[in-house]
Amino acid sequence: MFRIFFYILIFLTYSEITFASAPTRIEFPSSPIPVGSGARAIGMGGAFIGIADDATAADWNPAGLTDLDRAEISMVGTFVHRIENNIFNVSPESNGPQTVSHFCSNYFSIASPFLMGETKMVFSLNYQKRYDFNKKWNFILQHTNQKHHVDYQSEGSLSALGFAYSVKILENLSLGITFNIWDNDISPNKWQQKSFKQGSGMDGKNFFIDEILKTDTYIFKGYSWNLGLMWKDINNSGYSLGLVVKVPFKGQLNRYTHTVSKTYYPELPPYYDSINTPQPYECDESLYMPMSIGLGISYKYSDKFTVSFDIYRTNWNDFILKDLNGNERSPITGESIETSTINASNQFRMGMEYIMLESAKYALPFCFGLFYDPAPAENSPDNFWGITIGTGFIEKQLFTFDIAYQFRFGKNVGDSILDHLGFSQSIYEHILYSSVILYF
């Protein structure tokens, strides 16, 4: 009887603590809305849709590429340190911070402008890391005389290889388009989740230990489009307006699951051990990514001072996972579309850039920004806020180097995920961006 209770407890507790055990739930440890890259843009709070005047524009707003007067190569690297302070009201001994840190290459692009007749055009090739799935949890749950150890780790990311084209159709008006390829054979589009669960107890008079090691590997493939519009210096007023639409698309999500379970009695001979290794499980599903639309306004007070503001909306209610039998579920809740209440989220970003020192050859900028970056959740989005700061060095003929720091935080979020455990968490994310743009 106790063994039955033990397995029920293991299932109820662990099947929702790790989304590795809930294949229809996808969790984004980082921001679920990857607006763009580049230390300068991030230093301005990510309010860059109405500016987008360098080689990182392909994802912010591809129409902004027509601001380039020469070929550029850009490279962006990041260091991420994330702290998740977890609270389990029904198991307070499991409370405490869980941390993960890692370096990664975040963005790379090559952009080149050219003239066709008197019409200016720009082509660019771009790589951007979009979603980060790195996460680590390690804690112990205590229940009466039972102790359960949980060790969970997720590693991987989703990225896209993009081809962008921009054309200036009027003196101050440009159009742009980016075609993105999501394929693990071209750029990283894979993440893996490993969960190790160990519990112990008494089976009659004998002490036993149960262990479960489960590995889920996810591979994503698909194609998407970004469309952009940029109206620069409207009527010579200093105002610019940018619009970007990230078109909804359907991708393929392949999941491979391998599970090994073991029961053994340390105080009895080895022949009391039992190991269960079922055949690996494979599942192919369709993942429908939602539409996002962003509007950005910037105002250039002078040659040295610029302010910007962006609003960005994502229709998370259209984020759907569909299996081969036609069943549709929300990847956010793991429940059917009919029973899930997921609403669209609205992101707000504002920033400024001030050129502190400038000469004919050099410039030293300073950037600052604030943002509201909600994450999708049951009933209403979880609130996340952030602040950014950045600076750099511009050698006008050769290169630009920028560095930016972003702090993103959310308090008492995630409570709809493990409500039966009284779960909530506070997340504090520190990201350092560094960018180099080379001119040719």
Judged against a pLDDT cut of 70, whether residue 15 lies above it is answered with no
Rounded to two decimals, what is the model's pTM?
A: 0.89
Judged against a pLDDT cut of 80, whether residue 112 lies above it is answered with yes
Which of 175, 224, 170 lies closest to 61 in space, CA to CA?
175
271 or 277, greater pLDDT: 277
Taking residues 284-292, report their average pLDDT.
94
pLDDT computed for residue 19 by the predictor:
34
Structure tokens, 50: 């109405």
Taking residues 350-375, report their average pLDDT.
96
User: 81-96 pLDDT, tens per residue?
Assistant: 999 998 888 778 788 8
pLDDT computed for residue 34 by the predictor:
76
- d(CA 187, CA 175) in angstroms, rounded, equals 27
User: 290-339 pLDDT, tens per residue?
Assistant: 999 999 999 999 999 999 999 999 999 999 999 888 899 999 888 889 88
Judged against a pLDDT cut of 70, whether residue 248 lies above it is answered with yes
pLDDT computed for residue 143 by the predictor:
64
On the CB side of 330, how many CA atoms lie within 13 Å of its CA?
20
Judged against a pLDDT cut of 60, whether residue 63 lies above it is answered with yes
Which amino acid belongs to residue 341?
T
Taking residues 414-419, report their average pLDDT.
73
- d(CA 378, CA 25) in angstroms, rounded, equals 12
Judged against a pLDDT cut of 90, whether residue 30 lies above it is answered with no
> Three-state SS across 210-242?
EEEEEEEEEEEEEEEEEEEEEECCHHHCCEEEE
> Using an 8 Å Cβ cutoff, are 127 and 38 in contact?
no
User: 160-219 pLDDT, tens per residue?
Assistant: 999 999 999 999 999 999 999 999 999 989 999 998 888 877 777 778 888 888 999 999
Q: Going from the N-terminus, what domains does the chain have, and what CATH number goes with each?
A: 2-439 (2.40.160.60)
Structure tokens, 399: 């290169």
pLDDT computed for residue 12 by the predictor:
37
pLDDT computed for residue 419 by the predictor:
67
pLDDT computed for residue 25 by the predictor:
72
